[in-house]
DNA sequence: CTTTTGACGCGTA
DNA sequence: CTACGCGCCAAAA
């Protein structure tokens, strides 16, 4: 164990771990920033947002499946808000009149839900 | 080394 | 329902 100690079990960028957790979200489902943070561990919901903001186009990360705790798209208009909604609707995710997603229906159940 | 820049969540009124 | 404040931390220049 030649690890410097401190930090989580793995080192590397916090963004990298967040990115990996985000990639676990299956199509047609959405996860909140807080949920991604909780699953990643050791990071705050804020950090997830910061990590998403640092993503590059074509990174392969399903960033569009990350929404806020209310089931709304957090991106500001003109910054990809419409694009995120279009991507989600293409996966079968429905929005209500207020532009919100029912997390009880489309919310991701966590990595355990993907594994029997 | 310092400074800048952000895609949140939650409590309280 | 709205509004405001606080906590939180990293990566890039």
Strand C positions with any atom < 7 Å from protein CB? 7-12
Residue A50, CB, less than 7 Å from strand C? Answer: yes
Integer Cα distance of A17 and A11 in angstroms:
9
CA of A9 vs C1' of B13, distance in Å?
42
Which ranges constitute the DSSP H helices of chain A? 14-23, 33-40, 45-53, 81-90, 103-106
Residue A52, CB, less than 7 Å from strand C? Answer: no
A96 contacts: CB under 8 Å, gap ≥ 6: A102
Residue A45, CB, less than 7 Å from strand C? Answer: yes
Interval A72-113: pLDDT, tens: 999 988 889 999 999 999 999 999 999 999 999 999 998 887
CA of A103 vs C1' of C1, distance in Å?
20
Interval A13-65: pLDDT, tens: 899 999 999 999 999 999 999 999 999 999 999 999 999 999 988 889 999 99
Integer Cα distance of A16 and A14 in angstroms:
5
| Cβ–Cβ under 8 Å, residues A66 and A103 | no
Predicted confidence at residue A62, as pLDDT, reads: 97
């Amino acid at each position: 164990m030649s690890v410097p100690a401190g930090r989580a079990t793995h080192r590397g960028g916090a963004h990298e771990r967040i990115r990996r957790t985000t990639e676990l979200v299956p199509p047609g489902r959405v996860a909140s920033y807080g949920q991604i943070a909780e699953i990643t561990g050791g990071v705050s919901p804020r950090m997830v947002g910061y990590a998403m903001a640092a993503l590059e186009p074509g990174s392969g990360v399903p960033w569009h499946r990350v929404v806020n705790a209310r089931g709304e798209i957090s991106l500001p208009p003109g910054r990809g808000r419409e694009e995120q909604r279009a991507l989600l609707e293409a996966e079968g995710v429905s929005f209500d009149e207020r532009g919100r997603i029912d997390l009880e229906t489309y919310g991701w159940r966590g990595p355990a839900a993907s594994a029997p």
